Amino acid sequence: MVDDTAQLYTIEGVAAGFLMILTAYFIISSSTVITPQETHIADLQLEQLGSDALRVMDTPTENGTPGYLALCLSNYDPISFSDNITRLINTKTDSGTDRLHYNTTIFYRDGAAIGNATFGGDIYYRENAVKVSRLVTVDHFPPGAGIPNRKQVVLVEVLVWRS
Amino acid sequence: MAKLNDEGQWIIMMGFIVSIAIFIMALIVAESALVGKTTSESVLEFPKNDIQDLRSELFDRRWSDFQDPAAYGNLQNDIINLSLNRKGAVISFSYYQPGDDSVLLIHYNNGLTEYNDMYTERPSELSRGVF
Amino acid sequence: MLGRRVENHEDGQLSIDFVIGFTIFMIAFIFVATMISGLLISLQSKSIDYDAVAYRTGVVLTEDPGEPFNWHLLDLSTFKARNETLKRLGLGISRNVPGILQESKVEKFFSPDCGDSTKLCYPTDYSQRLIFGDYPYRFNITLRELDETRYWAIGDEPPDKYGYIRRVVMIKRPGIALINTTNATSNELIIHMLLQNLYQPPEGLPKENPAYIVDPIRENLNISLRNFTIPLTSMTNLELYKYINPPSSPTPINIPVDSPTIRIYVDGNLKTLPALVTNDTSIIIEEGYFPRETINEFSDVEVHITFDKPVSDETYLGIENVAENPPLSRAVMEIKVW
């Protein structure tokens, strides 16, 4: 009485169902969720940190004195600037330091043109870097150049990258 | 030749079709992860640091350097040209003193974000509150 | 074998074989179709969010004074203050100078105590007023002062992967009034505080940047007494008076026992009067004491400190001449969220 008739459809149904579930399982388990944010989060962190460091250097610690950044520029002192900014961007609250590097260019207005001067930092090749900038009022920059001696606003542009 | 046994081809075919449909949907789902605005892109795009920098610079200068018209013109040209040339942002500001008041108007536009600010104060009057 | 199907083309009955197979297929299909719509839910996982939450927390802490802007003076033991008035925990001094933190807010923020009703409770107050969101994010916030080497931390130990942001800030420390005593005629030291001289610049000048204002109303003020020339001097009395407009005789101001009040420290130890003084004597007017005694920026206050030996030559000591802020100090803050 028990024979093998009427077994083809059931097997086909089972096979089809199994096929669907297996496909869905493979897709879900193997798909790597590409989150584009992960590529920009590092940029966001670096840009915020760089801007913070420039702002802290530009804010006078006491009322009436110029900020440290303005002093470094007026006295043309890239070494103090380097020590300061390297410390600010690399210090962590716990032990250890970060591995951030920077490269600075100062832009100033010379009549109708915009001139620039490098201001220290590591050599930048092709790393993934962000650019942060700040407007600073200085007594005169660059010292000794042919532009008239007047109080001026310069743009400090710093490239920050992680090695 | 003998007739091919085509029994049950419907159901297997349906199974294959559904699997392929699911596979295609998964591809579409994967693509959709790349489309759309991410939080960090929005944050990087908004010029928060530029605007804060500009405001703090102008507020610090308003009573010292801006009181001298020659210096005011020079500094104004510096800021406007540097921003336009290097950051692609249009900035215009004016500081004037109608009567007892002092008014500082700031306009900033970098193509994506526009910012306008007006700050008035009356230095000879004792006014309440924080800066 | 094909069975009886071949002979019965018009009987309109499905074989049981087909029905079972089709049923199994349909069940599997419905199950997978439902599962696919749940595929998208897994893409909204919280791990993408952590860096964004850390960034937002960083902005609220460093660039926002909080809501209300003087939340560090609130009496959190009342239900209304803690649950309705206090909306956002920010550490900044003013919304117009972002990136400068107020030290009293920092101290309050990093020292929670759920058992003390006047202090913040970790983690409920923090997750509702700093982190925000329905998901119970866990966090770890640390702040290190670069030159003074002070260190504050709050939160749990982070796991291997977490959202992270690092900020560089400045901290405004409370003002100090340094007074050198002299061996002259009077046993009394009088400090005159016409408070509007601290908050309002002289006529014709613009408002001061809040980062550089000495603020006895919202911050501690340390009156530091130095250079006692006669040994074994002791302080016998401390009184405060206020002058109410129109001018009348001065009204004494109450000095309560509980905080916020005025406290006397000698060599770092809290003392009650009369107290022997040394060259490390401080009278701390605690933040919130002046608002408690309804003294505001337009009040006129005099502090009378009496000793048992001569300490001053009765020169006029205006608070705006003797008080100043220590320089702003730089600090690094790290926020980790998971």
Low-confidence ranges of chain A (pLDDT < 70): 1-8, 28-39, 144-146
Inter-chain contact A44–C17, Cβ cutoff 8 Å? no
Residue contacts between A and B (CB atoms, under 8 Å):
122
pLDDT computed for residue C10 by the predictor: 59
Inter-chain contact C209–B18, Cβ cutoff 8 Å? no
- Taking all residues of chain C, what is their mean pLDDT, rounded to a whole number? 85
What is the pLDDT averaged over residues B43-72?
89
pLDDT computed for residue C39 by the predictor: 60
Inter-chain contact B15–A55, Cβ cutoff 8 Å? no
How close B3 gets to chain C, by Cα (Å)? 13
pLDDT at C60 over 70: yes
Domain that holds residue C30: 12-43
- Single pTM value for the model: 0.80
How close C5 gets to chain A, by Cα (Å)? 9
Same domain, C20 and C98: no
Q: What is the pLDDT of residues C301-321, one digit of tens each?
A: 888 888 888 888 877 788 888
Inter-chain contact C21–A62, Cβ cutoff 8 Å? no
Q: Answer whether residue B31 is part of any domain.
A: no
Q: Answer whether residue A7 is part of any domain.
A: no
Split into its structural domains, chain A has a count of 1
Inter-chain contact A48–C58, Cβ cutoff 8 Å? yes
What is the pLDDT averaged over residues C72-99?
90
Q: Identify the closest residue of chain A to C100 by CA–CA distance.
A: A56
More confidently predicted of C247 and A36: C247
How close B55 gets to chain C, by Cα (Å)? 9
Q: Answer whether residue C5 is part of any domain.
A: no
- CB of C208 closer than 8 Å to CB of C201: yes
Residue C261 CB partners (closer than 8 Å, separation 6+):
C255, C286, C289
Q: What is the pLDDT of residues C27-45, one digit of tens each?
A: 888 887 777 666 655 444 4
Helix count and strand count (H, E) for chain A? 4, 4
Q: Compute how many other C-beta atoms are within 10 angstroms of the C-beta atom of residue C248.
A: 8
DSSP codes joined into one string, C258-318: SSSSEEEEETTEEE-SSEE--SSEEEEE-TTHHHHTT--TT-EEEEEEEESS--B----EE
What is the pLDDT averaged over residues C124-138?
89
Please tell me if residue B46 touches chain A, with a CB cutoff of 8 Å.
no
Split into its structural domains, chain B has a count of 1
Q: Answer whether residue C2 is part of any domain.
A: no
Q: Where are the extended beta strands (E) located within A29-128?
A: 100-110, 113-121
Which of A4-13, A154-163, B79-88, C48-57 is least confident? A4-13
Same domain, C229 and C136: no
Q: Which residue type sits at C151?
A: Y
Same domain, C252 and C285: yes
Which residues of A fall within a CB distance of 8 Å from C15? 6, 9
Inter-chain contact A151–B71, Cβ cutoff 8 Å? yes
Same domain, C109 and C217: no
Here the ipTM equals 0.79
Same domain, C155 and C271: no
pLDDT computed for residue A5 by the predictor: 58
Q: Answer whether residue B117 is part of any domain.
A: yes
pLDDT computed for residue B127 by the predictor: 45
Q: Answer whether residue B13 is part of any domain.
A: no
- CB of C99 closer than 8 Å to CB of C169: yes
Q: Answer whether residue B5 is part of any domain.
A: no
Q: Answer whether residue C234 is part of any domain.
A: yes
CA dihedral C174, C232, C273, C260 (to 10 degrees): 10
How close A111 gets to chain C, by Cα (Å)? 32
Which residues of B fall within a CB distance of 8 Å from A64? none
Neighbours, chain A (3 or more CB pairs < 8 A): B, C
Same domain, C22 and C81: no
Q: Which residue type sits at A130?
A: V
Which residues of A fall within a CB distance of 8 Å from B50? 133
Which residues of B fall within a CB distance of 8 Å from C298? 126
Q: Answer whether residue C105 is part of any domain.
A: yes
Q: Answer whether residue B57 is part of any domain.
A: yes
Q: Answer whether residue B94 is part of any domain.
A: yes
* Residue C72 CB-half CA count within 13 A: 24
Q: Omega into C291 within 30° of 0, i.e. cis?
A: no
Q: Identify the closest residue of chain B to C19 by CA–CA distance.
A: B11
Q: Answer whether residue C208 is part of any domain.
A: yes
Strand partners, C330: C170
Q: Answer whether residue C69 is part of any domain.
A: yes
pLDDT band at B37 (very low <50, low <70, confident <90, very high): low
How close B86 gets to chain C, by Cα (Å)? 24
Q: Answer whether residue B78 is part of any domain.
A: yes
Domain that holds residue B60: 47-121
Residue with tokens 């790597």: A32
Which residues of B fall within a CB distance of 8 Å from A139? none
Split into its structural domains, chain C has a count of 3
- CB of C330 closer than 8 Å to CB of A56: yes
Q: Answer whether residue B81 is part of any domain.
A: yes
pLDDT computed for residue A155 by the predictor: 95
Domain that holds residue A103: 37-162
Nearest to C104 by CA among C265, C260, C257, C218: C218
Inter-chain contact B75–A155, Cβ cutoff 8 Å? no
pLDDT band at C268 (very low <50, low <70, confident <90, very high): confident
pLDDT computed for residue B35 by the predictor: 53
Q: Answer whether residue A54 is part of any domain.
A: yes
